[in-house]
Amino acid sequence: MLERLIGEDIQLVSVPNPKTGKIRFDPGQLSQIILNLAVNARDAMPNGGKLTFETSNEVFDPGYLQSHANVIPGAYVMFAVSDTGIGMSADVQSKIFEPFFTTKEVGKGTGLGLATVWGIVKQSGGHIMVYSELGIGTTFKVYLPRIMEKAHATDPGNNSAKFPVGTETILLVEDEEIVRELSTEMLTLCGFKVLAARNGRHALSIYDDYVGPIDLLLTDVVMPEMGGRELAEKFAQSNPSMKVLFTSGYTDDAIVRHGVIEAKTNFIQKPFTASALTWKVRETLDGKPES
C-alpha cells in the first residue's frame, strides 16, 4: 500500500531491527502514524528520493531529561521515518505539530496530519522528535514505551550507571548549544579534556590555536556552512592519527544511504544517553583509525 501511495519515483527502504522489543499499541493508530508520516515525506520529495523506515530499542536515563523536560525516563521502541527531501527550516520545525499549520498550497493539505500523529503518540505515553536540514532531508523519530521483559546482560539499560574513564583530548563540534553543553559535561566527568566548538570554522580556529595533541574529533554530521564530513577531511590531511566519531539526529542508515558518510564509519545517533555517548567515545578511541 505504501509503494502505491508514495509513487514509483520514491524508493521504499525498510530496515527493521530483529531485536526490537514489544509495545502495547492499537494497530489502527500505528497504521495512521505510518501513513501520515509517509505522505508527509512523499510531499517533501516532489522529484523522487528515498523513504526509509527503521526500528530500534532506546533507553533514556534521567540525565537525558536535562535537555528534554517532557520525556519520561525508561525503555522505548524507536520507529524512524527518514526522507531525502527538501528539508525544513528551524521556524517550520517549531510549528509542524500545531493543528492546521501547513506549508502546502491551499487545497493540498489540512495541516492535521502531523498534529494527529503528535496526539496519538502523546496519548500513548510516547514522544516524537524531528531532525531536518534544508536540502538534506528529514527524519521523524517516534518513541513508544517498550514492554520490558526479563533483562539480558547485554541490555544497555543495565549499564546506564557505569561510565568509562579517559584522559584524552576531544574536539567537540556541535551547533546545538544545549547538546554541546551536555556532551561537554558528560565527557568531562569521565576525565576527558573537551574543546567545544559551535561550528566547523570555530573548530578549525580552536585546532590552530591549541598546543598539544587532539585525540578525537566528535562532530555533528550536518551543520551550517561546513558539515562534519568536510571538517573531518580537512583534519585528516594535517592530523591523520586523529580518530573521528560522527553524530546526528538522522539515523545512521539514512545518512549512509544519502551519501553523507560511508558505511562502517564511527557513528552515534541522537538523542543519546550519557552512558551511550561516553562508551562510544571510549570504543572509538580504543579502536583502529578510520581508513
Give the pLDDT score at 223: 83
The reply to whether 121 and 9 lie within a common domain is yes
The reply to whether 138 and 239 lie within a common domain is no
Is 291 a member of any domain?
no
Give the pLDDT score at 259: 62
Total domains in the chain come to 2
Residues 6+ apart with CB under 8 A from 53: 12, 13, 14, 15, 16, 34, 79, 80, 81
The reply to whether 73 and 110 lie within a common domain is yes
Is 121 a member of any domain?
yes
The reply to whether 43 and 176 lie within a common domain is no
The span from the CA of 270 to the CA of 251, in Å, is 8
CATH code, domain with 195? 3.40.50.2300
The reply to whether 180 and 89 lie within a common domain is no
Is 132 a member of any domain?
yes
pTM over 0.85: no
Last residue of a domain, one of 145, 170, 203: 145
The reply to whether 141 and 17 lie within a common domain is yes
Taken in order 235, 241, 247, 253, is the CA torsion positive or negative?
Answer: positive
The reply to whether 273 and 240 lie within a common domain is yes
Residues 6+ apart with CB under 8 A from 264: none
The reply to whether 136 and 9 lie within a common domain is yes
Is 151 a member of any domain?
no
Is 107 a member of any domain?
yes
The reply to whether 11 and 128 lie within a common domain is yes
Last residue of a domain, one of 145, 175, 192: 145
| Share in percent of the chain as helix, strand, coil (round to 5) | 35, 25, 40
**Tens place of pLDDT for every residue, the chain, 291 residues?**
788 888 889 999 999 888 899 998 888 888 888 888 998 899 899 999 999 999 999 887 665 555 555 677 788 999 999 999 999 888 888 888 887 666 555 444 444 578 888 888 988 889 898 998 888 899 999 999 998 765 444 444 444 446 888 999 999 999 888 788 888 988 988 889 999 999 999 999 999 999 989 999 999 988 877 888 899 999 988 888 999 999 988 877 777 765 667 767 889 988 787 788 899 999 999 985 444
Taken in order 260, 262, 266, 270, is the CA torsion positive or negative?
Answer: positive
Give the pLDDT score at 170: 97
The reply to whether 46 and 123 lie within a common domain is yes
Is 260 a member of any domain?
yes
Last residue of a domain, one of 145, 167, 194: 145
Taking alpha carbons only, the member of 25, 270, 273 closest to residue 145 is: 25
The reply to whether 188 and 91 lie within a common domain is no
CATH code, domain with 21? 3.30.565.10
Taken in order 98, 101, 102, 107, is the CA torsion positive or negative?
Answer: positive
Give the pLDDT score at 203: 94
Is 235 a member of any domain?
yes
The reply to whether 136 and 174 lie within a common domain is no
Return the beta strands (E) in 124-235 as ranges: 127-133, 137-145, 169-173, 193-197, 216-220
Residue 7 is part of which domain span? 2-145
Is 262 a member of any domain?
yes
Give the pLDDT score at 156: 44
Instruction: Give the single-character DSSP code of 110.
Output: -
